[in-house]
Amino acid sequence: MAEIVVDNLTKVWSGSPAVDGISFTCASGEFTVLLGPSGCGKSTTLRLIAGLEQPSAGAIAIGGRDVTRRSPAERGIAMVFQSYALFPHLSVAENILFGLKVRRVPRAERDERLKRAAQTLGLTQLLDRKPAALSGGQRQRVALGRAIVADAAVCLMDEPLSNLDAQLRQEMRAEIRSLQRRLGMTMIYVTHDQVEAMTMSDRVVLMREGRIEQQGTPAELYDCPASGFAARFLGTPPMNLLPAAIGAGLLPGVPAAAGGSIGVRPERLRVGAPGRGLAASIEAIEYLGADTLLTLDAAGAKLIARTDGHARHRIGEVVGVSCAAGDLHFFDAGSGRRVEANGNGCNAPERGEGA
């Protein structure tokens, strides 16, 4: 229906490339998340796909048709802008209905869709307001509403939930996901929230400085990060990366000779009595409600371990840190790429399908 194929796409802004020869495919009806640090080219990629920027090189096909030179209107897309791009002179309702009016959707249907979207987004009370009289989150929801009502085959969203509170965000996540499924939309979704990336997407494209660092299912990225960068980018707190010499202490039988670094996720670390595993002292304790984060010092290397909410530790206490065999990741010293050491192959666990 509306597969998106991005082929060797490049966008250069006055000399420096914002997007640097990326290629990926987003199958029809699939939900792809673009992930990456600030300024890595996510929005630019999205704008290129939308046709709002002309690529410096490369091609884009939507639904099998090369649309590289087509106007945005011809691409059949809906979009949520990172900056919202609400029309300041139109009310919330008019903003949401803008595209439908332009496309001459009959009035009755328009009203119907508006009502549904407003309800979903909790905007029913605000339909007559101008954007200037809305809170930040409300504006963002209006922007979202505009994309939702469009029922387009392809939907592009640029951090559509960044200004919403956790609860609303969770609802919206579920809503967007189910809408996308129901309508069979092909979705490209930019977010900096890895929980969103993990829970919503079929596929994650991790970008770094205009290039693709790794792409795959969320579980693949989490369990088999292709590089130190990918390893640290997904997961909060991020994976601990230790010099191989030190990290080897976590588990008996790990060769420390190879150099490079060893990674282990905070939640995989077991903090117990001293003597077992790596000896470390507790430097800081951060209580997060559900968990407590321990910052540990092992021979000068810092580690973070996540433990239960009320784990009773004290600063300065000396503990032993260990982990299971499958929990270690090895990265090359120079390139930072993953090394499949000791036959420690990567097998992502099955991902339970959400409700």
Partner 1 sequence: MSRLRASIHASLLLLPAVVLLAAFTHVPAVRTFIGALYTTPRGNRPEVFIGLDNYRHLLDDPVFWQAMANNVWYAALTIPLSVILALVMALAVDARLPGRAALRMAYFTPTVLPMIAVANIWLFFYTPGYGLLDQVLGLFGVAQTNWLGSRDTALNAVIAVAVWKEAGFFMIFYLAALQTIPHDLREAAAIEGASRFTFFRRVTLPLLMPTTLFVLVNAVIGAFRLVDHIVVMTRGGPDNATALLLYYIYEIGFRFWDSAYAATLTTVLLAILAVLAAVQFLFLERRIHYR
Partner 2 sequence: MSIADRSAGAIETVGAWLLGLLWILPLAYAAWTAFHPAAYATRFDLLAPLTLANFVAAWEAAPFGRYLLNTTAIVTMILAGQFLVCTLAAYAFARYTFPGKSVLFALVLMQLMVMPDILIVENYRTMFGLGLVDTIGAVALPYMASAFGIFLLRQTFMTVPKELEEAAIVEGCSTLGVLWRVYVPLARPVFVAYGLVSVSHHWNNFLWPLIVTNSVETRPLTVGLAVFSSTDQGIDWSIISAATLMTAAPLLVAFLIFQRAFVQSFLRAGIR
- Contact letters (x/-) for its own copies, 16-45, by CB under 8 A? -------------------xxxxx--xxx-
With CB cut-offs between 5 and 8 Å by kind, which of ligand ATP, partner 2, partner 1, none does residue 274 bind? Answer: none
Report, in Å, the least distance between residue 41 CB and Mg ion. Answer: 9
Comparison of 55 and 131: residue with beta carbon closer to partner 2: 131
Neighbours of 234 (CB within 10 A): 22
With CB cut-offs between 5 and 8 Å by kind, which of ligand ATP, its own copies, partner 2, none does residue 185 bind? Answer: none
SS3 of 300, please? coil
Comparison of 94 and 193: residue with beta carbon closer to its own copies: 193
Q: For residues 177 and 191, what is the distance between their CA atoms, to the nearest angstrom? A: 14
Counting other chains too, the contacts that 251-256 makes at CB distance below 8 Å and 24 or more residues apart are 251/277, 251/322, 251/323, 251/324, 251/325, 251/328, 254/328, 254/342, 255/341, 255/342
Which residues in the 116-175 window bind partner 1 by CB under 8 A?
A: 130, 132, 146, 150
Q: For residues 320 and 196, what is the distance between their CA atoms, to the nearest angstrom? A: 34
Comparison of 149 and 204: residue with beta carbon closer to its own copies: 204
Report, in Å, the least distance between residue 275 CB and partner 1. Answer: 56
Total residues in contact with partner 1, by rule CB under 8 A: 27
Q: In what order do the strands lie in the sheet with 301-308?
A: 270-272, 318-322, 278-287, 291-298, 301-308
Which residues in the 225-244 window bind ligand ATP by CB under 6 A?
A: none
Report, in Å, the least distance between residue 140 CB and ligand ATP. Answer: 7
- Spatial contact of 1 and 29, defined as CB atoms under 8 Å apart: yes
Which residues have CB under 8 Å from 173's CB, separation 6+? 161, 196, 199, 200
- Contact letters (x/-) for Mg ion, 65-84, by CB under 5 A? -----------------x--
At 265, list the tokens.
């996720």
Q: For residues 283 and 314, what is the distance between their CA atoms, to the nearest angstrom? A: 9
At 337, list the tokens.
């790429």
Q: In what order do the strands lie in the sheet with 329-331?
A: 240-243, 261-264, 329-331, 338-339
* Per CB under 8 A, 291 contacts its own copies: yes
Report, in Å, the least distance between residue 81 CB and partner 1. Answer: 6
- Spatial contact of 32 and 26, defined as CB atoms under 8 Å apart: yes
Which residues in the 125-154 window bind partner 2 by CB under 8 A?
A: 130-133, 139, 146, 150
Which residues have CB under 8 Å from 336's CB, separation 6+? 227, 228, 229
Residues that bind partner 1 (CB under 8 A): 47, 50-52, 69, 71-73, 77-79, 81, 83, 85-90, 98-99, 102-103, 130, 132, 146, 150
Residues that bind partner 2 (CB under 8 A): 47, 50, 52, 69-74, 77-79, 81, 83-90, 98-99, 102-103, 130-133, 139, 146, 150
Residues that bind ligand ATP (CB under 6 A): 13-14, 18, 36, 38-44, 82, 132-138, 163, 192
